[in-house]
Amino acid sequence: MKNLKLILLNVIPFLIFKLGIFSSVYAQKIFEPPPQDQKKVIKATQITTNLKIDGVLNESVWAKAKKYQAFTQVEPNQGQASDFITEVKVLYNDQYLYIGAFCKDSLGKKGLRVPNLRRDFDWGSGDLFGVVIDAFRDERNAISFQTNPYGARRDMQVFDSNIFDTDWDGFWKVRTSRTNEGWIAEMRIPWATIRYPKGDNQEWGINFVRRARRVNEISSWAAYPRAFNPYRMSYAGILKGIKPPPPSTNIRVQPYVFASANRNNDSTSLFASDNLFTKMGGEVKWAITPNTVLDFTVNTDFAQTDVDRQVVNLTRFSVFLPERRQFFLENASLFAAGSNDHVQPFFSRAIGLDNQGNPIPIDAGLRLTHRSTKRSLGALMVRQRGLGDSPAANFGVLRYVQNFGKQNRLGGMVTARYDEALEHKGIQDRYNFTGTIDGFFRFSRPLSWQFYVSGSETKDQNSNGWAGYSSLRYRSNQWYFYYDYQFIEKNYESTAGFIRRRNYMANSGGGYAILRPSWKPKFIRSYEPGVFATVIHRNEDRQFLESSVTFFPIWILFQDGSRLVGEIEPTRQNLLNTFSPLLVDIAQGTYDYTRYRFTYSSDVSKKLSFYLQYETGNFFDGKLDTYQARLTTSPIPHTYFSVNYQYNNARQLGAEKEDKEAHLIAPELRLALNARVQLNAFYQYNSLSKFANWNVRFSWEFQPLSFVYLVFNDTQNEGLTPVQHAQQVIGKVTYLKQF
């Protein structure tokens, strides 16, 4: 135990420090970005007509545009010419930027891989073509528009190539077609969607990326190292010859009308008049300048949002559930100043949701964001309505980030939450404030450091506390190392954020090699063995709480994207209080045990794919076997079915030496007429909590970002007495108009 702590506190930081000193030596494995005068250049062709977006590229103006096709491999053979020809053309007029791409494939239609037509599909799931644009040429901020051979859309905002707003939905259109020679993508992007500086001589950073999933090749027009991603804009080329109109009034209005029928634990008809409810609301987005955007929402509704996925939690940490509501997802990265899923001084799920994930009405919200090459600013105010025993609450967030150097930044954030009193319930008003300073520094292309320090004050408890985090990362084509330190005092509180666990300090570190020896079999892409280790103490007195070391001598990535992983995890737990995983009480004391984990995931782009994981070994004072399986089938891209299943089998666990089982099953069906008309049905059942729910959602995007939704929810909780059963049918129409 002492030796493990010594490694974490001394050896690993020293190793990363040495890597920082000699990073220029190691970095020569990662080729340098080209100088400005040697960057690749693509020129756009001006047109005077508006094109019909049909994915064919048969208009005469496309034939006049210059063709660019020299793509370079990123994977598997970095620096070599792509095995597939990709032709790109760029047109523009006074309203739109047009991008046409012909992605050739030697097998034509038969060579294409598209497992589903979901919006914001997974990066590695199938064939893909995308463009990345850095309109301000700061090599820090970028937006990306991507599609697959069936026209599904994937778009995002990216900052410093390591912060991703993947849930940003831009206003743009794409259509595709498939031929005997490959597939064609035709994009139309309004100038207002891109946002760019004023001036006549516009030159933007730009790159194009393609994934040919059948052979799992990634290629790009402007080459970048495989250790990074296509959003590292220092490697991008330059788009010249464009003359976009001067930035002007840019207002986007998106009202909605909503009707629902709700029934809770009664026998009346679901559509009885007493169960019917209607409302209206909407959002307004005003791009005051190309850098500054004001968002306003009133009577906010998230009826179409995906339901949370259930988990069986076997740890002493609270479960982190991601945000899924669109208003809070956009620009969420600007308000992130914590450590992802451990501590977030501001986390939007604290607004409009109770601890069980049930919605609480939001009366109104206002968000102002400003991003430029030098700084970013953000302000958020939300009014949450009082409901039952929950008092009305007011939220406020202020954020400032200063950029300096190539990719360095320092920031500060203040959050405040005021819960109003409910005198008839004897509930007093409550104030909670946090103040946070955070930063990110990229010392060299492989080496970066991130940190935050946050303090809190809670008025009704007259308490205050501190939390902090420091993270070093080194990533090259051959190595990955990290060292993290985190602490949270027992009185630190953020009622506008998320705290996974209080009163602890954690040291963790480790790394892995990325080996591609010449003697490896051709069907293997890389071996990546390594070790991760963590030690956790109680913060107030430094008493030991737990430690674990995860060895993964088997970590094999195959050429088709499948993986085989074998792990060994020795663990020590010091329970200061009774712990009850699987609803079995485990007494205080120290426990040493070892877990073994084996995982195989197949090629997700195939019509039939699967994920298998088996974990076994001791668990505290008993034994635990965990089986996880996911089967996915997609005979055609329009039909997708998956089923996830987890089975936990504990034996001789706890003071009573109990045997316990827990099942979690979650099938999902997605039917798509095309990328804009889809039906999704999702069911999940947890045998431990005896909780089951259905979510069935039909969506029709009748024009970009304008939707018709029909939703059915059915929730049954047999773990409560009396049994809770709720049903809901929702109809919602949203319409987006951009001025």
Cβ atoms of residues 631 and 565 within 8 Å: no
> Which stretches of the chain score pLDDT less than 50?
1-28
- Burial class of residue 145 in the structure, from the number of CB atoms within 10 Å of its CB (0-12 exposed, 13-18 middle, 19+ buried): buried
Q: What is the 3-state secondary structure (H, E, C) of 258-327?
A: EEEEEEECCCCCCCCHHHEEEEEEEEEEEECCCCEEEEEEEEECCCCCCCCCCCCCCCCCCCCCCCCCHH
Backbone angles phi, psi at 233, to 5 degrees: -75, -5
Cβ atoms of residues 580 and 653 within 8 Å: no
CA distance 39 to 36: 5
What is the CA 472 to chain-centroid distance, rounded? 21
What pairs with residue 550 in β-bridges? Answer: 532
What pairs with residue 87 in β-bridges? Answer: 102
What was the pLDDT predicted at 321? 64
- Amino acid at site 304: Q
DSSP reduced 3-state for 484:
strand
CA distance 470 to 505: 12
- Amino acid at site 279: K
Kindly list the distances between the CA atom of residue 585 and the CA atoms of 158, 588, 663, in Å, as whole numbers in the listed order.
45, 10, 19
What was the pLDDT predicted at 424? 65
DSSP summary character for residue 617: E
Whose CA is closest to 112, among 128, 130, 129, 127? 127
> 86-92 and 45-46: which strand pairing?
parallel
DSSP reduced 3-state for 41:
strand
Those residues with Cβ within 8 angstroms of residue 278's Cβ, 6 or more apart along the chain or in another chain: 257, 258, 259, 260
CA distance 193 to 190: 5
Torsion of CA 420, 422, 426, 430, to 10 degrees: -10
Whose CA is closest to 237, among 472, 418, 36, 376? 36
CA distance 196 to 464: 43
What was the pLDDT predicted at 635? 94
Q: Tokens in use for 696? A: 């069935």
449-452 CB contacts, 8 Å cutoff, 24+ apart:
449/473, 452/337, 452/338, 452/339
Those residues with Cβ within 8 angstroms of residue 211's Cβ, 6 or more apart along the chain or in another chain: 123, 124, 126, 127, 128, 129, 217, 218
Sheet strands (E) in 503-603: 504-513, 524-527, 530-537, 544-558, 563-575, 589-601
DSSP summary character for residue 357: S
DSSP summary character for residue 506: E
Kindly list the distances between the CA atom of residue 419 and the CA atoms of 261, 281, 379, 384, 608, in Å, as whole numbers in the listed order.
30, 24, 19, 9, 51
Q: Tokens in use for 349? A: 């799920």
Cβ atoms of residues 196 and 290 within 8 Å: yes
Q: Which helix (H) or strand (E) holds 412?
A: strand 408-419
CA distance 157 to 593: 44
What was the pLDDT predicted at 319? 65
What was the pLDDT predicted at 681? 96
What was the pLDDT predicted at 8? 40
DSSP reduced 3-state for 28:
helix
Kindly list the distances between the CA atom of residue 397 and the CA atoms of 182, 348, 378, 530, in Å, as whole numbers in the listed order.
49, 10, 8, 40
- Amino acid at site 221: W
* Exposure class string for 668-684: b at 16+ Cβ within 10 A, else e: bebebeebbbbebbbbb
What was the pLDDT predicted at 62? 96
- Burial class of residue 208 in the structure, from the number of CB atoms within 10 Å of its CB (0-12 exposed, 13-18 middle, 19+ buried): buried
